[in-house]
Amino acid sequence: MQTDTHEKKEESKIAVMSTSANQEAMEKAFNQALNNLMWPMLTRSNYQEWSSHIQCNLEAKFLWDVITDDKIERRQDWLALGAMLRGVPSEMHPMLLSKKTVKEAWEAIKSMCLGADRVKAVSAQKLLAEFESITFKAGETIEEFAIRITKISTDLSGLGDKSVDEKRVVRKFLRVVPARYNQIAVAIEMFCDLDTLSIEELIGRLRAAEERFESTVKKVTKKTDEWTTKNKSRFVSESSSSSSE
């Protein structure tokens, strides 16, 4: 009986040690991932992508609340500011360090990059016009077009214009697909709920059609090449006969 009790204690001790080791390994991996975060450098034209990336990094470090909440610890404020400085040109450091809080520094960057409300309104109008007139370029793939049209939607959202949401992007996408996708576009409109259809699902359906189309083109091209090669000697012979006559 004492032996059984001793074995159970040992098993329990091993289980605790195993759990502790797993937790330490997870914490080590988590800290390593945080240390390896990429901090993109702010430029004149990448504010939307930059701010989204920086927010993601600060969220991962549990520091994003410093930007959104007025009641924060000073240490957290400095940690967030130090992290953010890794992603801005050194020329901006003195200006940002002069701010009382990292929230003020964040707003200063936003104001510098997006400009006054009037400038933002003009930028939004230009993007809206670009969205309305967007079409597929010659040779452009479904994925390439998807990147262009979703970027417009993201940029508009960053400017405060929420009018081009995912539902509107999906409907626009279906209206401007190349002629070879018309049938699949009609099928999607008839059998799918466009109010809940995500842009990722739409891209997946259209890419499947794109791959089938490319496969068909390759087969036709291959058969044409084979037929041409097979009948090439006959064409040459007939051409020579006609010349001799």
Position 127 pLDDT exceeds 90? yes
Residue 18 has a pLDDT of 52
Q: What is the mean pLDDT of residues 194-216?
A: 82
In sequence order, what DSSP letters do the residues of 1-35 get, joined into one string?
Answer: -HHHHHHHHHHHHHHHHHHHHHHHHHHHHHHHHHH
The DSSP secondary-structure symbol of 138 reads: T
How much is the pTM?
A: 0.53
pLDDT at 34: 52
pLDDT of residue 31: 47
Alpha helix (H) residue ranges in the chain: 2-35, 47-60, 65-68, 74-85, 93-97, 102-114, 117-133, 142-158, 166-175, 182-191, 199-244
**Residue 172 pLDDT exceeds 50:** yes
Candidate from 29-33, 141-145, 150-154 with smallest mean pLDDT? 29-33
Q: Say whether pLDDT at 102 is over 80.
A: yes
pLDDT tens track for 1-44: 555 565 555 555 555 455 555 555 445 443 454 566 889 999 88
| Per-residue pLDDT tens digits for 60-92 | 888 898 888 877 788 888 999 999 999 999 999
By CB atoms closer than 10 A (0-12, 13-18, 19+), residue 141 is middle
- The whole-number pLDDT of residue 221 equals 47
- Average confidence (pLDDT) over 202-214: 80
Distance CA 125, CA 206 (A): 29
Q: Across 14-18, 162-166, 212-216, 220-224, which has the greatest mean pLDDT?
A: 162-166
8 Å CB contact between 161 and 202: no
Q: Looking at residue 220, what is its pLDDT? A: 43
What is the band of 213 on the pLDDT scale with cuts at 50, 70, 90?
A: low
Mean local confidence (pLDDT), 153-159: 89
* Residue 103 pLDDT greater than 70, yes or no: yes
Cβ-based neighbours of 126, under 8 Å, separated by 6 or more: none
